[in-house]
């Protein structure tokens, strides 16, 4: 897969951070080797070590899939718009007239919508897993398994961010440890805020929530006045509002309701912002990890970051117990093998 140059750079930084953390796994300790002096129970040590690695690697996976999804959208969009322009030429500007292939049109529409849904969800996953990475590496007293961007918002460039009241129960009581933790938190804040225009990450979160919980608002497709002009699909400026709320207010117009750029332009911009936020955050996180490794007693990993996962009881729709009875070996990623061995996860496997 050939990624965008900035995506490739961002994924490279994620992989460097992941490699640094994975290199600290110690089979005798059952997790991150230099965490062994924190008084963590074996299960907590293994769980936190493993989840932190998953969070870090999750950033790269989500970025890669977002990049792929954007390219998929761009290709399908080019094909759909080309067909639409041809149809308009043949039907005096009417793209719904003779020659309309309704099944193909519907498939194309669903393809494009699926790409948008996927891209926005993946973008939010990047931010949420970055938040989890910061929580884990800064050793904040927050549940790592419930980490998301909301734990750090609203962001502010004010020097007192984050307020003592908001995070007083998440920081280590010692001043040196707090300064370390606040340094990484503020690097994360700055990396996200400076990665794009004002409010880009808020808009992304609102848009993802809108699609997940309410469905899309009224969408407009416009045509540039050239014969036949390219199609421009407009996204709303405030996706947290309902369709009716978007049209209410003092003299609403297109500019106040919609972003004055094509949907594809917005998605490309979001990917650049996500990549920039990732690069800045992972560089700061790797430096912080090195600092903690050199001084393990700077701040201990809090046991409150972990909890025993709940089971669902789900066994599938058509379970086949005999499926793996004759399997004697499996091929897995060396990093995953190291994680399994460190946690002694296969000790009781038949």
Using only C-alpha atoms, what is the Rg of the chain? Answer: 24
pLDDT (tens digit per residue) in 198-228: 999 999 999 999 888 877 666 666 666 555 5
Residue 108's nearest CA partner among 79, 74, 87 is 79
Q: What is the average pLDDT across 79-107?
A: 71
pLDDT at 350: 45
Residue 157's nearest CA partner among 193, 195, 181, 201 is 193
- Is the pLDDT at 70 greater than 80, yes or no? yes
Rounded to the nearest integer, the mean pLDDT of the chain is 86
pLDDT band at 167 (very low <50, low <70, confident <90, very high): confident
- Is the pLDDT at 245 greater than 80, yes or no? no
The position carrying tokens 């707090």 is: 178
pLDDT (tens digit per residue) in 258-310: 788 999 999 999 999 999 999 999 999 999 999 999 999 999 999 999 987 78
Residue 25, strand partner residues: 32
CA–CA dist 142, 127 (Å, integer): 16
Is there a contact between 182 and 171 (Cβ–Cβ < 8 Å)?
yes
Give the contacts of 129 (CB within 8 A, at least 6 positions apart): 55, 56, 58, 59, 62, 147
CA–CA dist 91, 89 (Å, integer): 6
Is there a contact between 334 and 328 (Cβ–Cβ < 8 Å)?
no
């Amino acid at each position: 897969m050939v990624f965008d140059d900035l995506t490739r750079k961002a994924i490279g930084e994620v992989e460097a951070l992941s490699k640094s953390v994975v290199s600290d796994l110690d089979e005798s300790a059952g997790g991150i080797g230099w965490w062994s002096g924190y008084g963590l129970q074996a299960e907590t040590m293994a769980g936190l070590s493993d989840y932190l690695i998953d969070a870090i690697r999750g950033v790269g996976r989500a970025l890669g899939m977002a990049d792929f999804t954007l390219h998929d959208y761009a290709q399908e969009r080019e094909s759909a718009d080309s067909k639409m322009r041809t149809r308009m030429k043949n039907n005096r500007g009417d793209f719904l007239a003779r020659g309309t292939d309704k099944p193909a049109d519907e498939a194309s529409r669903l393809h494009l919508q699926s790409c948008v849904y996927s891209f926005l969800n993946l973008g939010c996953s990047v931010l949420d897993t970055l938040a989890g990475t910061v929580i884990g590496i800064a050793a904040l007293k927050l549940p790592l398994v419930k980490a998301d961007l909301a734990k750090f918002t609203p962001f502010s460039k004010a020097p007192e961010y984050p307020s003592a009241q908001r995070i007083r129960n998440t920081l280590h009581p010692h001043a040196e440890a707090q300064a370390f933790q606040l340094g990484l938190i503020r690097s994360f804040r700055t990396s996200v805020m400076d990665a794009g225009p004002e409010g880009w990450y808020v808009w992304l979160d609102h848009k993802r929530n809108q699609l997940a919980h309410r469905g899309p608002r009224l969408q407009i497709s416009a045509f540039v006045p050239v014969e036949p002009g390219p199609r421009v699909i407009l996204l709303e400026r405030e996706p947290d509002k309902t369709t009716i709320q978007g049209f209410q207010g003092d003299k609403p117009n297109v500019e106040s309701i919609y972003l004055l750029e094509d949907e594809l332009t917005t998605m490309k911009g979001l990917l650049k912002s996500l990549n920039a936020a990732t690069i800045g955050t992972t560089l700061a996180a790797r430096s912080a990890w090195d600092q903690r490794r050199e001084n393990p007693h700077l701040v201990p990993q809090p046991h409150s970051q972990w909890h025993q996962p709940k089971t669902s009881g789900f066994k599938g729709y058509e379970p086949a117990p005999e499926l793996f009875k004759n399997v004697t070996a499996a091929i897995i990623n060396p990093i995953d093998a190291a994680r399994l061995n460190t946690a002694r996860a296969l000790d009781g496997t038949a």
